[in-house]
Structure 1
């Protein structure tokens, strides 16, 4: 085995003990409640992680991009939900071909988004399963709740499409002022989705899927009666943002960036060899943080592309010292890398590839 200290810097690391614990804990909570778990693959983009999630009981995976859909279909994952709007001729054509291969459901929220897909699917002689996306507060994609019955009726009547259910991303939970408010908002979002599904069933629609999705809401929204599945993603690794939101503790964070101090020319201002191309550009403005430095009083306060600026007023860090940093946003950080190292303790166990990057 290789020691972590022998790795090149910067490197992306995942702690296997924490990863496996995170996967098992979330899978256990969902299984106990009888709710399906459909993790979002954008967090890891790593087949070694996806296989562990499926082995733990995940019913399928959630995707953000065509590249993720194609990659997982090629890997034999047969139950995929593409939680993004398939708008534009290339994406429409991609959906038709992917549905031919089987196992893909897409998300739609309007006639404008659905009509071209309907026409292409009907012309190709395929039926595209879809879920209607609902805005439960995040106001990104999704029909507003009062419009759901009418939009569902319109889209369900289109040729080449089949309505399976409803989907939401309760992303607004990340803006709640405290954890009790976040939990309450998650329960409200889940209850709203279940109520809307009941209304559509009363209108004659065969609603089999009621899908909610976020890591901050993973302990609340999926467990509202009537919700059938949840789609958390970040939970496999967690990150500094999730610590701030109360979704986890530092001991749950499995993903770190390994970096080395390359300069201490300015007192109290060490420079490391990991900048925004290693960490992503997500910052926690209130904390003035580019990432959370482990086992040190130093703060990661700024970054250029390949350089990170630490604040170390006590001068504990010297040129050549190594530091490990928990990223603010695990998903954005993953997309910066082509591979990572799976570690246990201080030892490197395997190198894992990261796929389907933009």
Structure 2
């Protein structure tokens, strides 16, 4: 049923403000257009085809996926150009990468010969060429080859059958370490983009194909894509934003489109209120400040959570009563969305739609 006021929803409930969502999508499209790069958003934030269609309507060329389930969902929806930004390790994932490329273009991530060899064998046996990007570590310290080792890796991968190099990519997730200084964050973002661009130029000079030079993060969206030589940006969280993005200076609080609606179920003692939104509503994703499970108001702290209960403290608790409703901005939109199967879309406080969240694994 749609048309009911937000406060009549059973809680906890995941809610998206349509006006903010649409504005966020339009603004990111305009930002990447100014940078002169293609926009390939990360689908893991929304896991929702309705959101994806809005992104495509605003110029996205395709999507970045985290899991085979996301790839399958988008392929079945007719999205033809996908990046699976994960190493396809193990027989099941190798087989999936090969099979997916019999349907449409699904580029995969590689950062070692060990990861590439089984994929190359399977692709060659099936008569399929699997496109790939080399993942480069520009500072995060997660997956990815070091910049100075990328040419040697590219040369080794070029000797394998069944694979086709398309370029390089990075995830500049380390920008979240610069929570206290937005200018410092932007400098680090531009450096990540510059490093990746230099790697791409080295590969091109060595005769390798490198048409895609792709950076990806919401905190770095106004810096990394603007480095000369970058061709593509892959932000994800921007569709909703969240408390961490506000803390990082990526957005102001009035841009946060995603909230969890929750009800106060107990006020057991002075200075404490208990809500019905716990870990299973918010996820356990940490704040970049290190504490709490989401943001409500400056005088309320969401400091502790059990599976089905959230514990609030602070001066604002004195005015809370059992039955009061609150909207919590999650720390991390992506992790919170993955806890839910439905998102309630609202306009001016009225529920206008319900969109399914799919491909949760």
TM over 0.5: yes
Distance in 2 separating the partners of 1:217 and 1:196: 19
Where does residue 121 of structure 1 map in the other structure?
A: 123
Q: Does 1:7 align with 2:9?
A: yes
Aligned partners of 1:33, 1:300: CA distance in 2, in Å? 38
May I ask how many residue pairs the two structures share in their alignment? 357
Question: Alpha-carbon deviations, 1:226-246, whole Å to 9, x = none?
Answer: 000010000000000111111
Please give the alpha-carbon distance, in whole angstroms, between the structure 2 residues aligned to 1:222 and 1:233: 14
Aligned ranges 1:3-152 → 2 under 5 Å: 3-152=5-154
1:178 Cα deviation from its structure 2 partner? 1.4
Question: Secondary structure at 1:352's aligned position in 2?
Answer: strand
- Counterpart contact for 1:298–1:312, Cα < 8 Å: yes
Where does residue 244 of structure 1 map in the other structure?
247
Once the 2 structures are TM-superposed, how far is the Cα of residue 312 of structure 1 from its aligned partner?
4.0
Q: Tell me the equivalent position of 1:354.
A: 357
Q: Counterparts of 1:79 and 1:243 in 2: how far apart (Å)?
A: 31
Q: CA deviation at 1:342?
A: 0.5
Cα distance, 1:287 vs. partner? 6.0
- The answer to whether structure 1 residue 288 and structure 2 residue 322 are counterparts is no
> After superposition, what is the alpha-carbon deviation per residue over 1:160-195, rounded to whole angstroms, capped at 9, x for unaligned?
000000010011111124111110011111111111
Is structure 2 residue 166 aligned with structure 1 residue 164? yes
Higher mean C-alpha displacement, 190-199 vs 247-256: 190-199
For the aligned residue pairs, the C-alpha RMSD in angstroms reads 1.1
Which of 177, 189, 194 aligns to 2:197? It is 194
| More deviation, 234-243/31-40 | 31-40
Shift of 1:33: 2.6
Residues 277-323 of structure 1 show CA distances to partners (whole Å, capped at 9, x for unaligned) of: 000001327463211014x7322111000000011435111000000
Deviations along 1:246-304, whole A, 9 cap, x unmatched?
A: 1111011000000000011212211000001000001327463211014x732211100
Deviations 1:116-141 (A, max 9, x none): 00000000000000000001001111
C-alpha distance in 1 between matches for 2:158 and 2:295: 47
Does structure 2 conserve the Cα–Cα contact (< 8 Å) formed by 1:122 and 1:160?
yes
Separation in structure 2 between the aligned mates of residue 59 and residue 313 of structure 1, nearest angstrom: 47
1:345 is aligned to 2:348: yes
Q: Tell me, what secondary structure is at the counterpart of 1:86?
A: coil
- Please report the TM-score for the alignment, with normalisation by the length of structure 1: 0.98
Answer yes or no: is the 8 Å Cα contact 2:176–2:288 preserved in 1. no
Q: Tell me, in whole angstroms, the C-alpha distance in 2 between the residues paired with 1:250 and 1:220.
A: 21
Distance 1:117 1:288 in 2: 42
Structure 2: runs of 5 or more not aligned = none
Give the corresponding residue for 1:268: 271
Q: Secondary structure at the match of 2:281?
A: helix
8 Å Cα contact 2:299-2:314 kept in structure 1 = yes
**Deviation above 6 Å: which 4+ runs of structure 1?**
none
Q: How far apart are 1:223 and its partner, in Å?
A: 1.1
Which consecutive unaligned segments of at least 5 residues does structure 1 have? none
Q: Secondary structure at the match of 1:199?
A: helix
